[in-house]
Structure 1
Amino acid sequence: METTRWLASDEQRWWRAYLRGNRELDVALDRDLSREGVSLSDYELLSMLSEAEGRRLRMSALAELIVQSRSRVTHTAARLERRGWVRRTPALDDGRGVVLELTDEGLGAVERLAAAHVASVRRHLVDVLTPYQFRALGEAMEAVRDAYASDPTTPASPCEPC
Protein backbone atom coordinates (compact mmCIF):
# COMPACT_ATOMS: atom_id res chain seq x y z
CA MET A 1 0.00 0.00 0.00
CA GLU A 2 1.32 3.40 -1.02
CA THR A 3 1.73 6.06 1.65
CA THR A 4 0.81 9.69 1.08
CA ARG A 5 3.70 12.13 0.78
CA TRP A 6 2.17 15.06 2.66
CA LEU A 7 3.33 18.55 1.85
CA ALA A 8 5.91 20.08 4.15
CA SER A 9 4.81 23.33 5.79
CA ASP A 10 6.70 25.50 3.27
CA GLU A 11 5.32 23.42 0.37
CA GLN A 12 1.81 23.80 1.77
CA ARG A 13 2.25 27.58 2.17
CA TRP A 14 3.57 27.95 -1.41
CA TRP A 15 0.86 25.71 -2.81
CA ARG A 16 -1.88 27.73 -1.14
CA ALA A 17 -0.23 30.98 -2.22
CA TYR A 18 -0.17 29.67 -5.79
CA LEU A 19 -3.87 28.71 -5.68
CA ARG A 20 -4.93 32.05 -4.23
CA GLY A 21 -2.63 34.11 -6.45
CA ASN A 22 -3.73 32.25 -9.58
CA ARG A 23 -7.39 32.82 -8.78
CA GLU A 24 -6.83 36.49 -7.92
CA LEU A 25 -4.91 36.98 -11.17
CA ASP A 26 -7.57 35.29 -13.30
CA VAL A 27 -10.30 37.41 -11.69
CA ALA A 28 -8.32 40.65 -12.19
CA LEU A 29 -7.45 39.92 -15.84
CA ASP A 30 -11.03 38.88 -16.61
CA ARG A 31 -12.43 41.97 -14.85
CA ASP A 32 -10.19 44.31 -16.83
CA LEU A 33 -11.15 42.70 -20.15
CA SER A 34 -14.83 42.70 -19.21
CA ARG A 35 -14.62 46.50 -19.19
CA GLU A 36 -13.74 46.12 -22.88
CA GLY A 37 -16.73 43.85 -23.48
CA VAL A 38 -14.99 40.45 -23.58
CA SER A 39 -13.91 37.75 -21.16
CA LEU A 40 -10.37 36.47 -20.67
CA SER A 41 -11.46 33.23 -22.39
CA ASP A 42 -12.79 35.21 -25.37
CA TYR A 43 -9.56 37.16 -25.66
CA GLU A 44 -7.38 34.07 -25.36
CA LEU A 45 -9.28 32.34 -28.16
CA LEU A 46 -9.12 35.44 -30.39
CA SER A 47 -5.42 36.01 -29.75
CA MET A 48 -4.53 32.38 -30.52
CA LEU A 49 -6.42 32.64 -33.81
CA SER A 50 -4.65 35.92 -34.62
CA GLU A 51 -1.29 34.16 -34.27
CA ALA A 52 -2.25 31.03 -36.23
CA GLU A 53 -1.29 30.54 -39.86
CA GLY A 54 -4.03 32.06 -41.99
CA ARG A 55 -5.80 33.08 -38.76
CA ARG A 56 -7.47 29.65 -38.81
CA LEU A 57 -7.42 26.61 -36.51
CA ARG A 58 -9.43 23.43 -36.16
CA MET A 59 -11.71 23.83 -33.16
CA SER A 60 -10.27 20.66 -31.59
CA ALA A 61 -6.71 22.02 -31.91
CA LEU A 62 -7.83 25.35 -30.50
CA ALA A 63 -9.44 23.60 -27.51
CA GLU A 64 -6.16 21.82 -26.76
CA LEU A 65 -4.15 25.00 -27.22
CA ILE A 66 -6.20 27.03 -24.74
CA VAL A 67 -6.92 24.03 -22.46
CA GLN A 68 -10.69 24.23 -22.66
CA SER A 69 -13.29 21.61 -23.46
CA ARG A 70 -14.53 21.42 -27.02
CA SER A 71 -18.02 22.31 -25.85
CA ARG A 72 -16.77 25.46 -24.12
CA VAL A 73 -14.85 26.47 -27.25
CA THR A 74 -18.03 25.86 -29.28
CA HIS A 75 -20.03 28.16 -26.98
CA THR A 76 -17.33 30.84 -27.07
CA ALA A 77 -17.09 30.56 -30.86
CA ALA A 78 -20.88 30.96 -31.20
CA ARG A 79 -20.79 34.11 -29.06
CA LEU A 80 -17.88 35.57 -31.05
CA GLU A 81 -19.48 34.56 -34.35
CA ARG A 82 -22.58 36.59 -33.45
CA ARG A 83 -20.27 39.60 -33.05
CA GLY A 84 -18.80 38.95 -36.50
CA TRP A 85 -15.31 38.28 -35.11
CA VAL A 86 -14.99 34.61 -36.16
CA ARG A 87 -16.58 32.25 -38.64
CA ARG A 88 -16.93 28.48 -38.51
CA THR A 89 -16.40 26.43 -41.65
CA PRO A 90 -16.15 22.69 -42.32
CA ALA A 91 -12.59 21.34 -42.38
CA LEU A 92 -11.48 20.70 -45.95
CA ASP A 93 -9.55 17.52 -45.06
CA ASP A 94 -12.55 15.74 -43.51
CA GLY A 95 -16.26 16.33 -43.16
CA ARG A 96 -16.38 16.00 -39.38
CA GLY A 97 -13.94 18.72 -38.36
CA VAL A 98 -14.72 22.40 -37.96
CA VAL A 99 -12.30 25.24 -38.55
CA LEU A 100 -12.58 28.54 -36.75
CA GLU A 101 -11.32 31.56 -38.64
CA LEU A 102 -10.68 35.07 -37.33
CA THR A 103 -12.42 37.66 -39.51
CA ASP A 104 -10.94 41.04 -40.37
CA GLU A 105 -13.34 42.57 -37.85
CA GLY A 106 -12.11 40.06 -35.26
CA LEU A 107 -8.50 40.94 -36.01
CA GLY A 108 -9.34 44.59 -35.44
CA ALA A 109 -10.94 43.65 -32.12
CA VAL A 110 -7.84 41.72 -31.03
CA GLU A 111 -5.63 44.65 -31.95
CA ARG A 112 -7.82 47.00 -29.87
CA LEU A 113 -8.04 44.60 -26.93
CA ALA A 114 -4.33 43.73 -26.87
CA ALA A 115 -3.25 47.03 -25.33
CA ALA A 116 -5.79 46.72 -22.51
CA HIS A 117 -4.80 43.09 -21.90
CA VAL A 118 -1.06 43.78 -21.83
CA ALA A 119 -1.58 46.72 -19.46
CA SER A 120 -3.60 44.41 -17.20
CA VAL A 121 -0.96 41.66 -17.29
CA ARG A 122 1.72 44.21 -16.43
CA ARG A 123 -0.30 45.79 -13.62
CA HIS A 124 -1.42 42.53 -12.00
CA LEU A 125 1.62 40.28 -12.56
CA VAL A 126 4.75 41.55 -14.32
CA ASP A 127 5.12 44.75 -12.29
CA VAL A 128 4.27 42.96 -9.02
CA LEU A 129 7.25 40.63 -9.40
CA THR A 130 10.94 41.29 -9.76
CA PRO A 131 12.40 40.31 -13.13
CA TYR A 132 14.02 37.31 -11.39
CA GLN A 133 10.68 36.20 -9.91
CA PHE A 134 8.87 36.60 -13.22
CA ARG A 135 11.51 34.56 -15.04
CA ALA A 136 11.40 31.87 -12.33
CA LEU A 137 7.60 31.75 -12.59
CA GLY A 138 7.80 31.40 -16.36
CA GLU A 139 10.40 28.65 -16.12
CA ALA A 140 8.36 26.82 -13.49
CA MET A 141 5.21 26.96 -15.62
CA GLU A 142 7.16 25.76 -18.66
CA ALA A 143 8.25 22.73 -16.59
CA VAL A 144 4.64 22.02 -15.60
CA ARG A 145 3.45 22.44 -19.20
CA ASP A 146 6.20 20.19 -20.52
CA ALA A 147 5.48 17.52 -17.90
CA TYR A 148 1.87 17.32 -19.05
CA ALA A 149 2.88 17.28 -22.71
CA SER A 150 5.19 14.31 -22.21
CA ASP A 151 3.18 12.31 -19.64
CA PRO A 152 1.76 9.21 -21.32
CA THR A 153 -0.68 8.69 -18.41
CA THR A 154 -2.42 12.00 -19.11
CA PRO A 155 -5.38 11.82 -21.53
CA ALA A 156 -4.61 13.21 -24.98
CA SER A 157 -7.05 16.05 -24.34
CA PRO A 158 -7.00 16.76 -20.58
CA CYS A 159 -10.01 19.04 -20.78
CA GLU A 160 -12.37 16.42 -22.23
CA PRO A 161 -14.50 14.29 -19.91
CA CYS A 162 -13.09 10.83 -19.34
Structure 2
Amino acid sequence: MVDDNGEQPKWLSRDEQQTWRAYIDGSQRLLGMLNRDLTDDAKLSLGDFRILVLLSESPTGAVRMSELADGIVASRSKLTHQVRRMEEQNLVKRESCADDGRGVFAHITDQGRAALRDAASHHVSSVREYFIDLLDPADLKALRKIFEKVDAHLIDQQRR
Protein backbone atom coordinates (compact mmCIF):
# COMPACT_ATOMS: atom_id res chain seq x y z
CA MET A 1 0.00 0.00 0.00
CA VAL A 2 1.35 3.40 -1.02
CA ASP A 3 0.20 6.86 0.12
CA ASP A 4 -0.37 9.94 -2.05
CA ASN A 5 3.37 10.71 -2.04
CA GLY A 6 4.27 7.25 -3.32
CA GLU A 7 5.64 6.18 0.06
CA GLN A 8 4.78 3.37 2.39
CA PRO A 9 2.69 4.57 5.35
CA LYS A 10 4.22 4.41 8.80
CA TRP A 11 2.17 1.48 10.12
CA LEU A 12 1.02 1.40 13.72
CA SER A 13 2.94 -0.76 16.13
CA ARG A 14 0.98 -3.48 17.93
CA ASP A 15 0.72 -1.28 21.04
CA GLU A 16 -0.32 1.77 18.99
CA GLN A 17 -2.95 -0.28 17.17
CA GLN A 18 -4.36 -1.68 20.42
CA THR A 19 -4.50 1.84 21.90
CA TRP A 20 -6.21 3.24 18.79
CA ARG A 21 -8.79 0.44 18.71
CA ALA A 22 -9.45 0.75 22.44
CA TYR A 23 -10.12 4.46 21.93
CA ILE A 24 -12.42 3.88 18.94
CA ASP A 25 -14.37 1.07 20.60
CA GLY A 26 -14.61 2.74 24.00
CA SER A 27 -15.55 6.20 22.72
CA GLN A 28 -18.21 4.88 20.34
CA ARG A 29 -19.67 2.60 23.00
CA LEU A 30 -19.62 5.46 25.56
CA LEU A 31 -21.37 7.91 23.23
CA GLY A 32 -23.91 5.23 22.34
CA MET A 33 -24.70 4.54 26.00
CA LEU A 34 -24.95 8.25 26.85
CA ASN A 35 -27.26 8.79 23.88
CA ARG A 36 -29.40 5.78 24.81
CA ASP A 37 -29.73 6.92 28.42
CA LEU A 38 -30.68 10.48 27.44
CA THR A 39 -33.20 9.22 24.91
CA ASP A 40 -34.73 6.74 27.38
CA ASP A 41 -34.74 9.10 30.38
CA ALA A 42 -35.36 12.51 28.85
CA LYS A 43 -36.45 11.91 25.24
CA LEU A 44 -33.48 13.96 24.01
CA SER A 45 -30.61 12.77 21.84
CA LEU A 46 -27.07 13.54 22.92
CA GLY A 47 -26.88 15.96 19.98
CA ASP A 48 -30.04 17.76 21.15
CA PHE A 49 -28.63 17.96 24.66
CA ARG A 50 -25.34 19.48 23.44
CA ILE A 51 -27.20 22.14 21.46
CA LEU A 52 -29.41 23.02 24.42
CA VAL A 53 -26.35 23.27 26.69
CA LEU A 54 -24.57 25.67 24.33
CA LEU A 55 -27.68 27.81 23.91
CA SER A 56 -28.32 27.88 27.67
CA GLU A 57 -24.74 29.00 28.33
CA SER A 58 -25.15 32.03 26.07
CA PRO A 59 -26.11 35.17 28.02
CA THR A 60 -28.96 35.80 25.57
CA GLY A 61 -29.96 32.15 25.13
CA ALA A 62 -29.15 32.53 21.43
CA VAL A 63 -26.20 31.57 19.24
CA ARG A 64 -25.61 32.20 15.55
CA MET A 65 -26.14 28.93 13.66
CA SER A 66 -22.63 28.98 12.15
CA GLU A 67 -21.09 29.33 15.63
CA LEU A 68 -23.38 26.63 16.99
CA ALA A 69 -22.22 24.24 14.25
CA ASP A 70 -18.62 24.93 15.24
CA GLY A 71 -19.50 24.48 18.92
CA ILE A 72 -20.99 21.03 18.44
CA VAL A 73 -18.44 20.08 15.76
CA ALA A 74 -21.03 19.41 13.06
CA SER A 75 -21.61 20.50 9.51
CA ARG A 76 -23.96 23.41 8.99
CA SER A 77 -26.35 21.21 6.99
CA LYS A 78 -26.50 18.58 9.74
CA LEU A 79 -27.09 21.28 12.34
CA THR A 80 -29.85 22.86 10.23
CA HIS A 81 -31.64 19.52 10.01
CA GLN A 82 -31.26 18.88 13.74
CA VAL A 83 -32.39 22.38 14.75
CA ARG A 84 -35.39 22.10 12.41
CA ARG A 85 -36.41 18.91 14.22
CA MET A 86 -35.84 20.54 17.62
CA GLU A 87 -37.90 23.52 16.48
CA GLU A 88 -40.81 21.16 15.74
CA GLN A 89 -40.56 20.00 19.37
CA ASN A 90 -40.54 23.64 20.56
CA LEU A 91 -37.10 23.23 22.15
CA VAL A 92 -35.55 25.99 20.06
CA LYS A 93 -36.62 28.67 17.60
CA ARG A 94 -34.73 30.28 14.75
CA GLU A 95 -34.71 33.95 13.87
CA SER A 96 -32.91 36.00 11.26
CA CYS A 97 -30.16 38.24 12.51
CA ALA A 98 -31.57 41.77 12.84
CA ASP A 99 -28.13 43.33 12.22
CA ASP A 100 -27.32 41.87 8.82
CA GLY A 101 -30.34 39.84 7.72
CA ARG A 102 -28.09 37.03 6.47
CA GLY A 103 -27.29 35.19 9.66
CA VAL A 104 -29.69 33.03 11.61
CA PHE A 105 -29.78 32.64 15.37
CA ALA A 106 -30.99 29.60 17.27
CA HIS A 107 -32.73 30.52 20.55
CA ILE A 108 -33.50 28.16 23.40
CA THR A 109 -37.19 28.25 24.34
CA ASP A 110 -38.70 27.94 27.81
CA GLN A 111 -39.64 24.38 26.90
CA GLY A 112 -36.04 23.76 25.81
CA ARG A 113 -34.74 25.07 29.14
CA ALA A 114 -37.17 22.81 31.01
CA ALA A 115 -36.11 19.79 28.92
CA LEU A 116 -32.45 20.59 29.59
CA ARG A 117 -33.07 20.92 33.34
CA ASP A 118 -34.92 17.60 33.38
CA ALA A 119 -32.22 15.83 31.35
CA ALA A 120 -29.14 17.24 33.12
CA SER A 121 -29.34 15.13 36.29
CA HIS A 122 -29.89 11.93 34.29
CA HIS A 123 -27.04 12.79 31.96
CA VAL A 124 -24.51 13.64 34.68
CA SER A 125 -25.37 10.36 36.43
CA SER A 126 -24.64 8.45 33.23
CA VAL A 127 -21.41 10.39 32.60
CA ARG A 128 -20.28 9.56 36.14
CA GLU A 129 -21.26 5.88 35.92
CA TYR A 130 -19.76 5.17 32.49
CA PHE A 131 -16.76 7.49 32.55
CA ILE A 132 -15.75 9.85 35.37
CA ASP A 133 -16.02 7.45 38.31
CA LEU A 134 -13.94 4.82 36.50
CA LEU A 135 -10.94 7.15 36.36
CA ASP A 136 -8.71 8.58 39.05
CA PRO A 137 -7.71 12.27 39.08
CA ALA A 138 -4.43 11.53 37.27
CA ASP A 139 -6.31 9.69 34.50
CA LEU A 140 -8.71 12.61 34.10
CA LYS A 141 -5.89 15.13 33.96
CA ALA A 142 -3.96 13.04 31.40
CA LEU A 143 -7.07 12.52 29.26
CA ARG A 144 -7.90 16.23 29.30
CA LYS A 145 -4.30 17.07 28.31
CA ILE A 146 -4.38 14.51 25.50
CA PHE A 147 -7.64 15.72 24.00
CA GLU A 148 -6.80 19.38 24.36
CA LYS A 149 -3.65 18.61 22.35
CA VAL A 150 -5.54 16.57 19.73
CA ASP A 151 -8.30 19.20 19.45
CA ALA A 152 -5.83 22.07 19.07
CA HIS A 153 -3.98 20.16 16.34
CA LEU A 154 -7.18 19.37 14.45
CA ILE A 155 -8.40 22.96 14.69
CA ASP A 156 -5.04 24.09 13.28
CA GLN A 157 -5.35 21.55 10.43
CA GLN A 158 -8.83 22.81 9.55
CA ARG A 159 -7.55 26.37 9.26
CA ARG A 160 -5.02 25.38 6.60
| TM-score, structure 1 as length reference | 0.89
1:138 lines up with 2:141 in the alignment:
no
Percentage of pairs with the same residue:
40
Q: Which has the higher contact order (CA 8 A, sep 6+)?
A: 1
Q: Which of these two proteins has the greater Rg computed from alpha carbons?
A: 2
**Runs of 4+ residues deviating >4 angstroms:** none
For residues 69-127 of structure 1, the C-alpha deviation after alignment (integer angstroms, 9 at most, x for no partner) is 11111121112112212110001232221100011221121111111111111011111
Return the alpha-carbon distance in structure 1 between the equivalents of residues 71 and 18 of structure 2: 30
Does 2:79 match 1:88? no
Range 66-75 or range 11-20, more displaced: 66-75
Q: Structure 1: where are the runs of 5+ without partners?
A: 157-162
Name the residue aligned to 2:154: 148
The letter for the 2-side match of 1:52 is S
Letter of the 1:119 partner, please give it: S
Determine whether 1:39 maps to 2:45: yes
- Quote the residue 1:25 is aligned against: 30
Q: How many residues align?
A: 154
- Farther off after superposition, 117-126 or 104-113: 104-113
Deviation at 1:39, TM superposition (A): 0.5
1:13 correspondence with 2:12: no
Q: Counterpart of 1:84 in structure 2: which amino acid?
A: N
Name 1:64's counterpart in structure 2.
70
